[in-house]
């Protein structure tokens, strides 16, 4: 940044604009550890009452938070692993190999990516019930991963497109098989893409609500988003303190991941355009 460019007016403007957002986050935290009388914004007293869910055993009404978190974690990680491993090979094939119907696949992926998930939900429900994967995590994972797949393949294709052809030619000339070339010479160069896509797919699985809500509602396979929604679905028993505390608990991993991987995530937008 050049020194003659004054940055403080800009900072001030951004500060004012983002202040309401900051306030929301601050109150998300404050509300979970205090008691505030209705109509006021000044908290009355400190309490950890709302965080009691962390230590609750599973009851008839709701499952234990830890088993739900584990389910969410499994869904997110499996989504990430499936997406990354299939995109790694599919993206390469579409970028480099002479696949039949290549342009058809590419165009089809764009359309699939834009397809609204909700419209498919009934048929997916029926299919899962027929094959016996209704109310299982595997069912949700398969559906979730396949819906995100076009995006993943497309992103990885973009990364592969930036690797120079001559590197592959050189590898082949050096005596390596096409597979070795892919694994030892090409993969290391699209590594940033994998990291970004992996994190992205994890977060996407973590935040998924509609699929697990419809396809795996029972308490032993519930994920955090469904658990959270369940808290306010009850007509007679609202506990906004608890809702906010669980909400905060739910978003902490997202914020942490973002803090660790923000540079890497930006690659997803750079990958397709360079070279």
Partner 1 sequence: MRIVLDAVTKQFGAVKAIDDVTLEIVDGELLALLGPSGCGKTTTLFAICGIHRIDSGRILFGDLEVSGLPPQRRSVGVVFQSFALYPHMSVSENIGFPLQVRKESKAEIERKVDEVADLVHIRELLERRPAQLSGGQQQRVAIARAIVRRPDILLLDEPLANLDAKLRLEMRSELRRLQKETGITAVIVTHDQVEAMSMSDRIVIMDDGRILQIGTPDEMYHRPSNKFVAGFIGNPPISFADGKVEDGRFVTEGLDFDLPDRIKKASVTAGQNITLGVRPEYLQPDFATPIEAEITFIENQGREALYDLTLAGGHVFRSIQSGEPICKLGDKIRWGIDADASFFFDDQGKRI
Closer Cβ to partner 1, 52 or 184, answer by number: 184
Cα separation values, 47 from 30, 44, 52, 240, 248, Å: 10, 10, 10, 14, 16
Q: Where are the alpha helices (DSSP H) in 98-136?
A: 102-114, 121-131
Distance set, CA 243 to CA 3, 44, 68, 232, 260 (Å): 47, 19, 15, 7, 27
Can residue 116 be called a binding residue for partner 1 (CB under 8 A)? no
Selected binder of partner 1 within 29, 110, 122, 169 (CB under 8 A): 169
Which of the 8 DSSP states describes residue 58?
A: P
> Is 195 one of the binding residues for partner 1 (CB under 8 A)?
no
172 touches partner 1 by CB under 8 A: yes
Q: Which is nearer to partner 1, 61 or 178 (CB)?
A: 178
Least distance from partner 1 to the Cβ atom of residue 100, Å: 17
Work out whether 275 is an interface residue with partner 1 (CB under 8 A): no
Nearest to 153 by CA among 189, 102, 116: 102
The number of beta carbons lying within 10 Å of the beta carbon of residue 20 is: 8
53 touches 66 (CB < 8 A): no
Q: Which of 108, 87, 102, 109 is nearest to 159 (CA)?
A: 87
Contacting partner 1 (CB under 8 A), which of 10, 48, 167, 232? 167
**By CB under 8 A, is residue 251 in contact with partner 1?**
no
**Is position 173 an interface residue for partner 1 (rule: CB under 8 A)?**
yes
Q: What are the C-alpha distances in Å from 67 to residues 54, 139, 213, 216, 227?
A: 11, 18, 16, 14, 11
* Binding footprint of partner 1, residue count (CB under 8 A): 16
We find the least distance from the C-beta atom of residue 165 to partner 1, in angstroms, to be: 9
Instruction: Check residue 176 for interaction with partner 1 (CB under 8 A).
Output: yes
- Report in angstroms how near the CB of residue 164 gets to partner 1 at its nearest: 6
| Interaction of residue 11 with partner 1, rule CB under 8 A | no
Q: Does 189 bind partner 1 (CB under 8 A)?
A: yes
Residues in touch with partner 1 (CB under 8 A)? 164, 166-167, 169-177, 180, 185, 188-189
């Amino acid at each position: 940044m050049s020194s003659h460019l004054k940055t403080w007016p800009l900072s001030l403007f951004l500060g004012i604009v983002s202040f309401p957002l900051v306030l929301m986050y601050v109150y998300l935290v404050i509300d979970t550890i205090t008691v505030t009388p209705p109509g006021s914004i000044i908290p009355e007293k400190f309490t950890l009452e709302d965080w009691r869910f962390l230590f609750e055993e599973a009851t008839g009404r709701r499952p234990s938070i830890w088993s739900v978190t584990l389910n969410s974690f499994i869904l997110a990680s499996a989504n990430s692993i499936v997406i990354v491993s299939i995109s790694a090979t599919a993206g390469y094939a579409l970028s480099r190999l002479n696949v039949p119907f290549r342009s058809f696949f590419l165009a089809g992926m764009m359309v699939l990516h834009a397809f609204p998930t909700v419209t498919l939900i009934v048929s997916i429900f029926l299919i899962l019930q027929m094959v016996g994967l209704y109310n299982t995590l595997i069912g949700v994972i398969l559906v979730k991963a396949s819906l995100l797949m076009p995006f993943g393949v497309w992103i990885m294709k973009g990364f592969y497109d930036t690797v120079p052809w001559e590197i592959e030619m050189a590898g082949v000339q050096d005596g390596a098989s096409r597979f070795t070339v892919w694994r030892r010479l090409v993969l290391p160069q699209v590594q940033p893409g994998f990291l970004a896509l992996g994190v992205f797919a994890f977060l996407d699985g973590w935040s998924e609500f509609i699929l697990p809500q419809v396809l795996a509602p029972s308490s032993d396979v519930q994920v955090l988003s469904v658990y959270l929604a369940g808290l306010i679905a009850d007509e007679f028993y609202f506990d906004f303190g608890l809702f906010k505390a669980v909400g905060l608990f739910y978003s902490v991993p997202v914020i942490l991941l973002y803090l660790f991987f923000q540079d890497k995530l930006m690659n997803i937008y750079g990958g397709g355009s360079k070279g």
